[in-house]
Amino acid sequence: MELDEALDSWFKNVNKLVPSVNERQKITHVGAEVLKAELVHVTKLKHYQKNRDTSKIEHLADSIEIGDTNIDYIRDGTSIVGFTNKGINHARIARFLNDGTKFMKGDHFVDDTRRNSKQLILQAQYAEYQRLLKGGDK
């Protein structure tokens, strides 16, 4: 076998391991689901008021959504997780609670949740990658 044939063969085999945009979307969405669940849990734990009327405006913990595009709304296989700005700007409130203001100290609940969830997210994404690699959902 010549070098160019060997390299072509190697490239074809390696290329099978690289997921397509649709497969990457499925993989990152699974990770986003894990992050969302962790973020909902931590937000309810630290910032949930049980007696608050949520008939008009949902609570911060209930306003977390997943987007299947990047931050510029381009579908490239990434997923994002964040607070909505529907009704009231929950993203702004979450930033104030996370980062703090000159009047209150931030508790960094979003940053800590991202950091603490990294292993769970990667495990979920790897499991989805393995499932797709073995010929599951294409």
CA distances for 19 relative to 12, 76, 103, 118, angstroms: 13, 12, 47, 21
Judge whether 68 lies within some domain. Answer: yes
Judge whether 51 lies within some domain. Answer: yes
Judge whether 29 lies within some domain. Answer: yes
Number of domains observed in the structure of the chain: 1
Judge whether 7 lies within some domain. Answer: no
Judge whether 95 lies within some domain. Answer: yes
Confidence band (pLDDT; 50, 70, 90) for 27?
A: very high
Judge whether 54 lies within some domain. Answer: yes
Task: Mark 10-47 as b/e (b = at least 16 C-beta within 10 Å).
Answer: eeeeeeeeebeeebbbbbbbbbbbbbbebbbebbeeeb
Judge whether 8 lies within some domain. Answer: no
| Tokens, residue 21 | 């945009």
Question: Cα(113)–Cα(17) distance, rounded to whole angstroms?
Answer: 30
Domain containing residue 127: 19-134
- Of residues 62 and 16, more confidently modeled: 62
pLDDT for 30-80, tens place per residue?
999 999 999 999 999 998 877 877 777 888 888 999 999 999 999 999 999
pLDDT for 83-117, tens place per residue?
988 878 999 999 999 999 999 999 999 999 999 99
Judge whether 62 lies within some domain. Answer: yes
